[in-house]
Amino acid sequence: MAIWVNEETRLVVQGITGKEGTFHALGCRDYGTNVVAGVTPGKGGQEVEGVPVFDSMDQARDKTGCNATMIFVPPPFAADAIMEAAAAGIELVVCITEGIPVGDMLKVKAFLRDHPTRLVGPNCPGVISPGVAKIGIMPGHIHLPGRVGVISRSGTLTYEAVWQLTNLELGQSTCVGIGGDPINGTSFIDALEAFAADDATEAVIMMGEIGGSAEEEAAAWVQANYDRPVVGFIAGRTAPPGRRMGHAGAIVAGGKGTAAAKMEAMREAGIHVVESPAEMGRKVAEALGA
């Protein structure tokens, strides 16, 4: 078992005719994902390595029954692509695009309120259920089907945790990159809820970053709702204050944006916090008694 991405996944790639879109569409197919369509407005009727390309998400949905999408559309047009996917009734939207304006993401959030679509990202590596399928840009070969759910705001830091779990032969059930942007679709709590309902996931690693208060909210949720082990790490303890968070933004967070405050909130919630990112995998093994 796994969450969100599985054998039923029928993937469409928005922006498939671009260099990155093509590369990663094929990367997903090589990993075992059922890639059924691509969409690039104006390029309908073409094919990319045997994958049919459509002008719109509606057409792709009608002709192929796709139920998930991966977005590689450039930042100025990415918000529109997300909304088009939601309007076409796609259940899972994974947006890889980095650099979408916050103002555009606020529009997307408002639009998604009236749609049952799950958005993962933007600015994320995607979602992978090892050994089954992947929607994203992560290197498949570092993963191993297994017992641990992984949730992270970062790309390469996720690979670090995944690699540690693979070397310890614990493996991963599903890895979810929720993305590094201030406004995103899926939160830590959304992913934790899904992992809680998944029997194959015996423990979770969550990797947060400075800024905002998503980690504190997730910690409170874990304390109240989740009884399997959770290992936590927060990146950015040494980051200079004020460089990432605007002046007034730090006030809204009310002292909640710092790594120290996040780690403290996680510890208080019973999460196994590691100080060193090199210790994430070992800590999970310890918590599982493996």
Partner 1 sequence: MKIHEYQAKEILRRYGAATPRGRVTADPAEAASICEEFGGRCVVKAQIHAGGRGKGGGVKLAGSPAEAQELAASILGMQLVTPQTGPEGQEVRKVLVEEALDIASEYYLAVTLDRQIGAPIIMASAAGGMNIEEVAEENPDAIVREAFDPHLGLQPFQARSVASRLGLSGGTARQAQKLIAALARTYVEMDASLAEINPMLVTGEGDVVALDAKMNFDSNALFRHQDVREMRDLAEENALEVEAGRYGLNYIKLDGNIGCMVNGAGLAMATMDIIKLYGGAPANFLDVGGSASQEAVANAFRLLVGDPNVKAVLINIFGGIARTDRIAGGVVDALAELGDVGIPVVVRLEGTNVEKGREILHSADFDFIVASQMGDAAEKAVAAVKELA
Alpha carbons 217 and 213: distance in angstroms, whole number? 6
- Among residues 50, 116, 240, 289, the one that binds partner 1 under rule CB under 8 A: 240
Q: Can residue 139 be called a binding residue for partner 1 (CB under 8 A)?
A: yes
For partner 1, the closer CB: 36 or 234: 234
Which is the catalytic residue, given 115, 141, 143, 247?
Answer: 247
Q: How far is the CB of 212 from partner 1 (least distance, A)?
A: 4
- Among residues 62, 65, 197, 237, the one that binds partner 1 under rule CB under 8 A: 237
Q: Can residue 159 be called a binding residue for partner 1 (CB under 8 A)?
A: yes
Q: How far is the CB of 252 from partner 1 (least distance, A)?
A: 5
Q: Please identify, among the stretches 30-38, 58-66, 193-201, 234-242, the one whose residues bind partner 1 according to the rule CB under 8 A.
A: 234-242
Alpha carbons 112 and 88: distance in angstroms, whole number? 12
């809680």: which residue's tokens? Answer: 196
Alpha carbons 62 and 64: distance in angstroms, whole number? 6
Let me know how long the chain is. 290
Q: How far is the CB of 184 from partner 1 (least distance, A)?
A: 9
For partner 1, the closer CB: 66 or 222: 222
8 A C-beta contact, residue 172 and residue 150: yes
8 A C-beta contact, residue 100 and residue 78: yes
Q: Can residue 221 be called a binding residue for partner 1 (CB under 8 A)?
A: no
Beta partners for 231? 205, 272
| Site map (CB under 8 A) of partner 1, residues 175-194, x = contact | -----x-xx-----------
Asked about 247 being catalytic, the answer comes back as yes
Q: Can residue 48 be called a binding residue for partner 1 (CB under 8 A)?
A: no
Task: Name the nearest CA neighbour of 127 among 100, 144, 147, 151.
Answer: 151
CB-based burial of residue 256 (10 Å sphere; 0-12 exposed, 13-18 middle, 19+ buried)? Answer: middle
Task: Name the nearest CA neighbour of 94 among 162, 205, 178, 22.
Answer: 178
| Site map (CB under 8 A) of partner 1, residues 85-124, x = contact | --------------xxxxxx-xx-xx--------------
8 A C-beta contact, residue 145 and residue 154: no
| Three-state secondary structure string covering 190-253 | HHHHHHHCCCCCCEEEEEEECCCCHHHHHHHHHHHHCCCCEEEEEECCCCCCCCCCCHHHHHHH
Q: Can residue 247 be called a binding residue for partner 1 (CB under 8 A)?
A: yes
For partner 1, the closer CB: 250 or 288: 250
Active site residues: 247
Residues that bind partner 1 (CB under 8 A): 75-76, 99-104, 106-107, 109-110, 125, 137-139, 141-142, 152-160, 163, 180, 182-183, 207, 209-214, 217, 233, 235-240, 242-243, 246-255, 259, 275-279
